Amino acid sequence: MKKNMHLKMKRIYRAMLVLLTAVMLAWTAAAETAGEPEEQHSDTWIKSKLVTTYTLNRHLNPFNITVDVKDGVVTLEGKVDSPVERDLAVEIARGMTGVSRVDDKLAIESGAAGDPAELPDFSRLVEDATITAMVKSRLLFNRNIQGMDINVDTSNGEVVLDGKVESDAVRDLAGHIALNTANVRKVVNNLEVAGKKEPSKLEEAGKIIEREMSDAWITGKVKAVLLSSKEVEGADVQVSTRNKVVTLKGTARSREQADRIVALAADVVGVAEVRSELAAGGR
C-alpha cells in the first residue's frame, strides 16, 4: 500500500514539475514564435532570458545559481535547497529555445530527500506558481517599473511583494498591478522606497533583452499582460505589432474597459505606440 502511494506521489510530482516548467516558460518566452531572427537565440540572449526566468521562480526557495552559456550549451553551478529545485532549474534550461545541452553541476545544499509526499498540495502549488509568474511578468514588462529587484511570493492566492523601489508612486503602482492580476485575492506590499541606485546584473540583463526586442516579442508580452489582468476579463482582443506599433482589434465590454486595455498595452516595455480598433459594448 505504501509503495503504491509513493509511486502515485512520484507521478504527481513529475506532473507538477512539467506544469511548473510550462508556467515559467509560458510567461517568459511567450514571444519565441516562428519568424523571430536567429540572432535572438545567441548565447547572451539565452543567458539573459534564463536568468530572468529563474528570477520569476519565487514560489520555491530562492535559487543561488550561476548560469553560463557557450555555443548553446548551458552550464548551471551553485546550490539549491532540494531535488525539486534542481530538476526544475534543469528542465527550464532544457526548454529554452537555442539550448543544445544542459550541464548540471548544481549541488543540493540541505540534503533533503525531496519526497514528493512531503510537498504541499500540488494543485495549490501550481496555482500559486502561476500567479507568481503572472505578477512578476507584469512588473517586469511594465515600462514604469521593470521589476527586476521586486521579489514575488504567493501562498493561497495571497501575494507578498518584497524589495526596493525608487519612489512611493512605483511602490503603489506595483501593488495595484499585483492586485489586478487574475486570481490574486490579497496583496501584502512590503516594498521599501530606497531611491535610485546602480543597476544590478539582472537589470543589465533586462537592458540586453530590451535592445533585442522584436515585434513578435512585444506582441507576446502585450498578450501576456492582457491575459493576466482582471481588468480585461470579458473582452476579446487581438494583438499585432509592426515596427513596435501595437494594433488592438476586437471587442471590449465598455469604452472604459477599452481605454484601460489601451493603457495596459502602452505600458509594456518596447511599445512605441498603440492603435486601437476596439469596439465597445461587445459589438
Cell of 16: 507538477
In the prediction, which pLDDT does 95 show? 73
Amino acid identity, residue 238? Q
Among residues 47, 57, 75, 67, the alpha carbon closest in space to that of 17 is found at 57
Mean pLDDT per segment of 10 residues, for the chain of length 283 residues?
53 51 49 44 78 59 73 88 75 78 84 47 71 83 76 90 88 91 92 70 54 73 86 90 92 92 90 92 60
In the prediction, which pLDDT does 228 show? 84
Indicate the burial class of 58 (C-beta count within 10 angstroms; 0-12, 13-18, 19 or more). buried
Among residues 227, 254, 253, the alpha carbon closest in space to that of 238 is found at 227
Domain boundaries, the chain: 2-118, 122-193, 213-280
Q: Which helix (H) or strand (E) is 83 found in, with range?
A: helix 83-95
In the prediction, which pLDDT does 41 show? 63
Amino acid identity, residue 13? Y
CATH of domain 213-280: 3.30.1340.30
Residue 56 CA to residue 223 CA, distance in Å, equals: 18
Domains 122-193 and 213-280 are alike in CATH topology: yes
In the prediction, which pLDDT does 183 show? 87
User: What pTM value is reported for the model?
Assistant: 0.56
Indicate the burial class of 268 (C-beta count within 10 angstroms; 0-12, 13-18, 19 or more). buried
Task: Report helix, strand or coil for 173.
Answer: helix
- Which class is domain 122-193? alpha beta
